[in-house]
Amino acid sequence: MTDFKLPPSLSVYGNEETAKDILSRAWGKRGVFTCTVANTLTSTIPGVSEAGDTPELTMFTPPADAELLISGKTTCMKGIPINPGGIPTPATLTKAALELSGMPYYIVNGGSKINPHVPYFDMGGECGDYITTGKAVANVRQIYERGFMLGQMLARAYDFVVISESCAGGTTTALAVLTAMGVLKENLVSSSSPNNPKELKSKLVAEGLAAAGVKPGDLADDPLKAIECVGDPMMPANIGIIAGAATSVPVVIGGGTQMGAVIAGVVKMHPEVIGNIFQGTTRWLMNDPNSSMKKIMDCIGADVPIVYVNVDYSESPYEGLQAYEWGFIKEGVGCGGSSVGAIMMTSGEVTCEALVDKVHEIYRGIMGFE
Amino acid sequence: MTDFKLPPSLSVYGNEETAKDILSRAWGKRGVFTCTVANTLTSTIPGVSEAGDTPELTMFTPPADAELLISGKTTCMKGIPINPGGIPTPATLTKAALELSGMPYYIVNGGSKINPHVPYFDMGGECGDYITTGKAVANVRQIYERGFMLGQMLARAYDFVVISESCAGGTTTALAVLTAMGVLKENLVSSSSPNNPKELKSKLVAEGLAAAGVKPGDLADDPLKAIECVGDPMMPANIGIIAGAATSVPVVIGGGTQMGAVIAGVVKMHPEVIGNIFQGTTRWLMNDPNSSMKKIMDCIGADVPIVYVNVDYSESPYEGLQAYEWGFIKEGVGCGGSSVGAIMMTSGEVTCEALVDKVHEIYRGIMGFE
């Protein structure tokens, strides 16, 4: 057992020894952060996604998140991505982590409906179709292959890699892929709303699998096929990046239950990455009573620990941020992974308190508060 | 005067003090290499470009160069890009420089006809039109703005930046932009053939300017407008990257006379970069009797020195490489800039001899020789 001591800002679920081994190897080293943006028309089905003020606006959330991260303002839409009720995108925390750590960051375009007006790595993908078509993602292998090359490129230049996603509707597609692969037999995925529309999601997944002629578990050995049928274009890009990078450097898989499909896919296709990857997320996601990342990871059944950041907004003066404590948002845009990465890169010098202070500063700037 | 000593692998034209100041600040530091690929239909006009075995194949040369750099093989075409006669792409030297130095590298897509099957930074551009239309490049400002953001991103992550290009037909578009800006009054640009088709290039430039309703010098103060009329999509991307990066880190502008338009554009739009940029190229380009990079730089009239690498293929056992000594190719795909960058990053440990040995190894691998 390594004698690495976890800072109070971080907690671990799963194999603590593996987590500490990876953390100790990347501690104080140079990391890089990527956020893969993508769309699936599935998010425009009313009720599926709250990652946007209206179902139509969920199409703009990923590119707007990308613009916010890179240029500090949004061009493709007015204002910043919010959930109904005005709760701000978790990109606010991501920006705080990146600014405090000085970690370089890049946008990956897995396949967006609207291309963000910032530089991004193009993966040759396009916006995903409704999963109910059973033909949800085009060019899956090409996206995966480009992702693999990108992972190799990043591993050549940095000591560890943090990946993440912004893909509205992504928990529904994750549930579909995990079901097609036989990893999940029940609906354990999360929602950016405390009122997780579980029945609707399960119904859409069943329709998608039926349209594809796939029964649960049929595609246990073919994650790319499962993604082609009922996934989204974020998935093959991120599976590729992990696979290309994690044979040489540690990879932090930033995100919530959406990343379940990515993790299940990569450990099936590339078991050699096990021991060099962990999920990086938030205590909000881990404490969600309406989903269970822990159970999803147990169902995947590989040695992939979860390292989560103990950021707490309960003392925030802003209701929009307090809402995170009430079960809204919880994850997204790699807010957990980038926070974990910032703590790693600075050998623990970035603390939860420093992150919250920085989020307040960014939030005030964006909202035009004094 | 800095007491920095130039290694025998490098020579300088222009202000040696500025060059040595920049070199000394980047010596032994972490650099990054980018190659901006783009197309202009101008290269398919018979006789304009020899960057491809036939005029049509010039469309494939930039994406194939990108694929060769990133994945080591070409997917969009069979074989590797060659000039008529079988002379291999200068990407062979670029690869040697990148491999010997371990410098990270990325492809930037300024606007290609065929998208390379590798990860690249998309700039939102598209293949340029014939310059004879007078409306050669769409979305110029958008490409420039994304380039600027990319330059900022790279400067955040690296200590110096090397930029470059692969854009068949690029000397013709450079001549056109430099004429529109009034920088050049005669045809001083190079060619990848020793038989530089100067009359054809000058005729096309005159046609393009007439179609745009622009007289030589009319656009002295508006480089982006000159590019829109008679340039190519590589230019705004690279002007943006230089402008975004060079206020914080040194930038090596890799390439030959094609880069004249980029340099003239950036020093007009962003004079604050002067003192932190130089051109990085090859002795082949500097010794070309049919063009004059020196005169072009003198006409630009800013303090932008030229640092060139003294790589020599005259002892090479391969005719395809010896041809570089006879006036073929001379530059491209940042072969000069990446070599200069490799020497900088390794504090001069990479030598011309090591580069040539590595080129031979790469050339044998590509050609399938023993």
Domain assignments of chain B as residue spans, ordered by start: 10-363
Q: What is the pLDDT of residue A2?
A: 67
Stretch (H or E) spanning A343: helix A335-345
B115 reaches A (C-beta below 8 A): yes
Q: What is the pLDDT of residue B369?
A: 75
| 3-state secondary structure (DSSP) of residue A113 | coil
Q: Please check whether residue B166 is in contact with residue B260, taking contact to mean a CB–CB distance below 8 angstroms.
A: no
Q: What is the DSSP letter of B308?
A: E
ipTM of the complex: 0.85
Q: What gap in Å lies between CA A33 and CA A94, rounded to an integer? A: 10
Stretch (H or E) spanning B10: strand B10-13
Question: Tens digit of pLDDT for each residue in A78-119?
Answer: 888 877 777 888 999 999 999 999 999 999 999 999 999 999
Q: What gap in Å lies between CA B173 and CA B45, rounded to an integer? A: 13
Closest approach of chain B CAs to the CA of A267, in angstroms? 23
Q: What gap in Å lies between CA A305 and CA A309, rounded to an integer? A: 13
| CATH code of domain A11-363 | 3.40.50.10210
Contacts of B203 (CB under 8 A, 6+ apart): none
When scoring B107, B120, B154 by the number of chain A Cβ atoms within 10 A, the one with the most, hence best to mutate, is: B120
Q: What is the pLDDT of residue A58?
A: 94
Contacts of B35 (CB under 8 A, 6+ apart): B65, B66, B69, B94, B105, B106, B107, B108, B163, B164, B165, B166, B333, B334
Q: Cα torsion for A180, A111, B117, B167, to the nearest 10°? A: 180
Q: What gap in Å lies between CA B236 and CA B144, rounded to an integer? A: 5
Give the C-alpha distances (Å, rounded to integers) separating B287 from A109, B67, B85: 43, 30, 22
Give the pLDDT of chain B (370 residues) as one tens digit per residue. Answer: 568 999 999 999 999 999 999 999 999 999 999 999 999 999 999 999 988 889 999 999 999 999 999 988 888 888 888 777 778 889 999 999 999 999 999 999 999 999 999 999 999 999 999 999 999 999 999 999 999 999 999 999 999 999 999 999 999 999 999 999 999 999 888 888 888 899 999 999 999 999 999 999 999 999 999 999 999 999 999 999 999 999 999 999 999 999 999 999 999 999 999 999 999 999 999 998 888 999 999 999 999 999 999 999 999 999 999 999 999 999 999 999 999 999 999 999 999 999 999 999 999 988 877 5
DSSP string, B244-262: HHTTTS-EEEE-STTHHHH
Q: What are phi and psi of B320, to 5 degrees?
A: -60, -30
Q: What is the pLDDT of residue B1?
A: 52
Q: Measured in whole angstroms, how far is the alpha carbon of residue B146 from the centre of its chain?
A: 19
Q: What is the pLDDT of residue A82?
A: 79
Give the C-alpha distances (Å, rounded to integers) separating B339 from A312, B293, B346, B358: 50, 18, 11, 12
DSSP string, A208-255: HHHHHT--TTTTTT-HHHHHHHH--THHHHHHHHHHHHTTTS-EEEE-
Q: What is the pLDDT of residue A370?
A: 59
Strands A306-309 and A10-13: antiparallel
| 3-state secondary structure (DSSP) of residue B128 | strand
When scoring A34, A121, A144 by the number of chain B Cβ atoms within 10 A, the one with the most, hence best to mutate, is: A121
DSSP string, A141-180: HHHHHHHHHHHHHHHHH-SEEEE-EE-TTHHHHHHHHHHH
Which of chain A's residues have a Cβ under 8 Å away from the Cβ of B105?
153
CA atoms within 13 A on the CB side of B227: 34
Q: At what angle do helices A352-367 and A91-101 cross, to 10 degrees?
A: 120
Contacts of B366 (CB under 8 A, 6+ apart): B68, B80, B88, B92
Which of chain A's residues have a Cβ under 8 Å away from the Cβ of B118?
146, 149
- Count of beta carbons in the 10 Å neighbourhood of residue B270: 18
Q: What is the pLDDT of residue B82?
A: 79
Q: Which of B117, B120, B156 sits opposite A121 (nearest CB)?
A: B120
Q: What is the pLDDT of residue A282?
A: 98
DSSP string, A10-66: EEEES-HHHHHHHHHHHTTS-EEEEEEEE-BGGGGSTTS--SSSSTGGGGTHHHHHH
pTM: 0.92
Residues in A 17-56 with any Cβ partner in B closer than 8 A: 32
Which of chain A's residues have a Cβ under 8 Å away from the Cβ of B71?
149
Sign of dihedral through CA atoms A26, A32, A35, A36? Answer: negative
B120 reaches A (C-beta below 8 A): yes
**Residues in chain A where the model's pLDDT stays below 50:** none
Closest approach of chain A CAs to the CA of B156, in angstroms? 7
Q: What gap in Å lies between CA A334 and CA A36, rounded to an integer? A: 9
Which of chain B's residues have a Cβ under 8 Å away from the Cβ of A157?
32, 104
- Which amino acid is residue B25, in one-letter code? R
DSSP string, B27-95: TTS-EEEEEEEE-BGGGGSTTS--SSSSTGGGGTHHHHHHHHHHHSS-SSSSS--EETTTEEPTHHHHH
Q: Which fold has domain B10-363?
A: Rossmann fold (3.40.50)
Closest approach of chain A CAs to the CA of B142, in angstroms? 8
